[in-house]
Structure 1
Amino acid sequence: MEIWNKIWSFIQSANLRTLGMLVGALLGLLYLCVGFWKTLVFAGFILLGYLVGRWLDSQEDWRAVVERLIPNKSRD
């Protein structure tokens, strides 16, 4: 039971970016066990977990993220 207390204290003290990467790695490992050639998806899960964690850490508005990724190309 002590291991769960250690895990819980780590989760509470870690930043969301790290937790996002860990969740992405866990999901990626599960997906990787299905087949070797899906290693690219494994890396994608880790990257996605990092990006979601970074976004949650910064508490940035999702509209600002979309606007930054896809800028408005309207002409004056």
Structure 2
Amino acid sequence: MRRARRLVAEYGVKGFKFHPSIQGFFPNDRSVAYGLYEVIEETGTIALFHTGQTGIGAGVPGGAASA
């Protein structure tokens, strides 16, 4: 939360982009995310969430990364 405030105050960050399935969190987990959401609200920044499939491995046989 401190880092988010600093990014907004010192670097002019306008929003935060999340991809929960890649970042390994549930967006509705109060113990993990809600503090950050409060900072986003306080600073008037934007929260953008990716949902659905990631596209990782798209076009690769089997849909996985090549070895």
Greater C-alpha radius of gyration: 1
Greater strand share, structure number: 2
**TM above 0.5, one fold?**
no
Whose helix proportion is higher, 1 or 2? 1
